[in-house]
Amino acid sequence: MTPENYMLRAINLAKLGAGSVSPNPMVGAVIVHHGHIIGEGYHQQYGQAHAEVNAINAVLEKYPDAQILLQQSTLYVSLEPCSHYGKTPPCALLIIKYKIHKVVIGCTDVNPTVSGKGIELLKNTGTEVSVGVLEKECMALNKRFFTSINKQRPYIILKWAQTADGFFAPANGVQHWITSAPAKTLVHKWRTQEDCILVGTHTAKIDNPQLNVRLVAGRNPKRAFIDRDLSLPKDFFLLDNSQKTFVFNCKKTTTQGNTKYIAIEDFDYLLPQYILYQLYLNDVQSLIIEGGAKTLQTFIDAGLWDEARVFTSAKNLSTGIKVPHIKGNTVSVDNVGDEKLKIIIPF
């Protein structure tokens, strides 16, 4: 196998941590001895052991002569090993402790507490270090983490469903399902993988959404909604305290159970920017914006989005609320049940 094969394995392992490690990055590690994988691991849960630790422990548990094998091995890891004390000790020091011969890194860590320091520490102790194997793929793996660090805002996913004739919802404000069961199940899967979901006031009042995970197994995301005058009825799901929920309003800043009210003084000036920065401060690394059309368009017009996931049904409405206007590159179109799913990214 080639270094790219081993790194691809590390990437696939890292993906198993999706939805469980934020605000940390997803990381996978593979240990190879003379062409054979003898240990592998990934970061499984925020606050717990990192990928390198789990891979090394896998070798220690399996082989009586593990320490000798590790000294003759190459460690492939999708992201630069950490060099600082956080919730866990530095992975770079563990690699040095076991005298692993060579470390192949997919991409460097952009976090200022790590960036380049892990690589430098390894090199200074005689470890052979190589950086950049499947670098593009490793960076794409942690696009949420990199966006949070570099832009101080969550990675933003826009999501909506539209009819074949370009409508978002009926004009009368009645709840109207456009998508079929497979699309709804996929959306719930997405919710398990992201940190938070945001809706606007109109959607909250019309749909009374739960914004949780009911159709697949997985953890519920945080919820956020915009309610300028705190007009949402108190018995609605979004105020049931069942999940961590952010309420963006212009009247109060307080916390009541799992519900955090965040006051924004001027709703007419830089509203998307204020919302995103507050979510960033609350360790929200990724955000799905599920509507309504006005809320989606506000973020589009502000240039604050990283991808859009648009379901198009064969149904027609003839009249109603028009879909958001968005321009970008279409990267894929797939069938999901009776709908087409288009993924768009900014130019």
Give 277's DSSP letter: H
Beta bridge partners of 267: none
Q: Checking DSSP bridges between strand 245-249 and strand 222-226, what pairing results, if any?
A: parallel
Active-site hit among 52, 80, 194, 290: 52
In 3-state terms the chain splits into helix, strand, coil percentages (rounded to 5) of 30, 25, 45
* Extended beta strands in 14-90, E state: 28-33, 36-42, 74-79
Q: Which helix (H) or strand (E) holds 202?
A: helix 201-207
Helix (H) or strand (E) holding 192: helix 181-193
Any catalytic annotation for residue 52? yes
CB atoms within 10 A of CB 166: 12
CB < 8 Å & 24+ apart, contacts of 42-48: 42/13, 42/14, 42/16, 42/17, 43/14, 43/17, 44/16, 44/17, 44/20, 45/17, 45/20, 45/21, 46/20, 46/21, 46/22, 46/87, 47/87, 47/88, 48/87, 48/88
Please state, in angstroms and rounded to a whole number, the distance separating the CA atoms of residues 266 and 200: 16
Active site (catalytic) residues: 52
